[in-house]
């Protein structure tokens, strides 16, 4: 029987589709077409591009389902309008830009990460400082990164806060809460809950902007600080979204022990991360994200048993995990 070459052929071309979308976002194609349809020549003139070359990009975006083409004019699809236009409330354009300018370059050195087990920031960008200093090197870079995390949060946070019954908790402190998407989702899900969004001073200012006039805004406090170095706001439920997977185990243990110390008996810790199966055979998104952590952080993705082990070392018990069907899964641990 002849083996099917389709998986290999698809993967040979997979990066081309990603880079096509990355380039279209970076060049402002979707933002411009949000204003109305345009042909390739007119769009090229506005964006300062070569018409024939741009037409190839636009046609590829049609093939990817991101644009529609009618009478030689191009228009955004609904998906592009919601997720690839930078002004959309649910935009993922910030994360696309971060993927294009940072992750795409780090992944080009995957083989070297596999040889020495470390990330590629020094190799690609000449940076030895904590990786987040790169995200915050300019106002534009910081804004793009925060916007990207916000878009992902809107997709994941409602499922994460609904994964377990959190109704017994009264004060949630979201450590590294960025734009407040998890706090807002939690307040919507649990009417008696109050929340604190805690993040670095240069990040917490974005929460005010993104929370705006949300109906639960009066139940959400904002606090600036470094959860590794500063005292934590009081609460009976702490949350860490896409934090644990960034760091090596010594740093994680210190943070988890600190949180455990601040919690009252019966208090909880909610993690929003991708969960691997116990035998690491899936899901694919978690497997690929673990490789992503290899090239760009000190961390990795984990199975529920691995989370239970590291949480147990910090004193937590009753560790539960759930796959949510959203980009992030949920783990809940309790201080007994």
- Which pTM was predicted? 0.94
Query: Which of 52, 83, 114 corresponds to the end of one domain?
Result: 83
Query: Alpha carbon 266 to chain centroid distance?
Result: 29
CATH of the domain at 285: 3.40.50.150
Rounded Cα distance between 290 and 125, Å, is 21
36 and 161 co-located in one domain: no
CATH of the domain at 44: 1.10.10.10
Provide the pLDDT for residue 131. 65
Q: Where are the beta strands (DSSP E) in 114-193?
A: 171-175
Query: Which of 65, 83, 101 corresponds to the end of one domain?
Result: 83
Tally of structural domains, the chain: 2
From first to last of its 336 residues, what are the pLDDT tens digits of the chain? 789 999 999 999 999 999 999 999 999 999 999 999 999 999 999 999 999 999 999 999 999 999 999 999 999 999 999 999 999 999 999 999 999 999 999 999 999 999 999 999 999 998 875 566 666 677 888 888 888 889 999 999 999 999 999 999 999 999 999 999 999 999 999 999 999 999 999 889 899 889 988 889 999 999 999 999 999 999 999 999 999 999 999 999 999 999 999 999 999 999 999 999 999 999 999 999 999 999 999 999 999 999 999 999 999 999 999 999 999 999 999 999
Return the active site residues: 245
The verdict on residue 94 lying in a domain is no
- DSSP readout, 306-329? HHHHHHHHTT-EEEEEE--SSSSE
54 and 180 co-located in one domain: no
295 and 164 co-located in one domain: yes
Rounded Cα distance between 153 and 211, Å, is 13
For residue 200, give its domain range: 154-334
The verdict on residue 139 lying in a domain is no
Q: Kindly report the backbone phi and psi dihedral angles of residue 52, in degrees, each rounded to the nearest multiple of 5, phi listed first.
A: -65, -40
183 and 303 co-located in one domain: yes
Rounded Cα distance between 96 and 19, Å, is 10
Rounded Cα distance between 305 and 317, Å, is 12
What the block records as the tokens of 190 is 């649990």
168 and 255 co-located in one domain: yes
68-89 pLDDT per residue, tens: 999 999 999 999 999 999 999 9
Give the closest residue to 102 by CA, choosing from 73, 75, 63, 133. Answer: 133
- DSSP readout, 4-58? P-HHHHHHHHHHHHHHHHHHHHHTTHHHHHTT--EEHHHHHHHHT--HHHHHHHH
Query: Which of 68, 83, 98 corresponds to the end of one domain?
Result: 83
Q: Is the dihedral of CA 97, 185, 170, 336 positive or negative?
A: negative
Residue at token pair 């998986």:
7
214-264 pLDDT per residue, tens: 889 999 999 999 999 999 999 999 999 999 999 999 999 999 999 999 999
């Amino acid at each position: 029987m002849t083996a099917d070459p389709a998986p290999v052929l698809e993967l040979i071309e997979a990066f081309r589709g990603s880079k096509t979308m990355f380039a279209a976002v970076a060049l402002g194609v979707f933002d411009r077409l949000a204003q109305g349809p345009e042909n390739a020549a007119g769009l090229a003139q506005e964006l300062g591009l070569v018409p024939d070359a741009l037409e190839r990009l636009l046609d590829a975006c049609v093939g990817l389902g991101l644009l529609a083409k009618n009478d030689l004019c191009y228009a955004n699809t609904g998906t592009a309008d919601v997720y690839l236009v930078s002004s959309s409330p649910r935009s993922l354009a910030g994360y696309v830009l971060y993927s294009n300018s940072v992750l795409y370059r780090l992944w080009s050195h995957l083989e070297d990460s596999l040889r020495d087990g470390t990330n590629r920031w020094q190799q690609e960008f000449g940076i030895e400082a904590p990786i987040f200093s790169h995200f915050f090197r300019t106002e534009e870079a910081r804004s793009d990164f925060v916007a990207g995390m916000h878009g992902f949060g809107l997709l994941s946070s409602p499922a994460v806060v609904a994964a377990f019954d959190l109704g017994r908790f009264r004060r949630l402190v979201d450590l590294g809460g960025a734009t407040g998407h998890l706090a807002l989702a939690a307040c919507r899900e649990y009417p008696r809950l109050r929340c604190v969004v805690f993040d670095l001073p240069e990040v917490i200012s974005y929460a005010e902007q993104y929370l705006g006039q949300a109906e639960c805004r009066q139940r959400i406090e904002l606090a600036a600080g470094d959860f590794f170095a500063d005292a934590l706001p009081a609460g009976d439920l702490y949350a860490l979204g896409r934090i644990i997977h960034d760091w090596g185990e010594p740093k994680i243990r210190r943070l988890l022990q600190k949180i455990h110390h601040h919690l009252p008996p019966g208090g909880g810790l909610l993690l929003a991360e991708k969960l691997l199966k116990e035998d690491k055979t899936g899901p694919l998104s978690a497997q690929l994200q673990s490789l992503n952590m290899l090239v760009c952080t000190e961390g990795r993705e984990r199975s529920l048993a691995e989370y239970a082990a590291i949480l147990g070392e910090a004193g937590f018990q009753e560790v539960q995990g759930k796959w949510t069907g959203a980009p992030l899964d949920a783990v809940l641990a309790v201080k007994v």
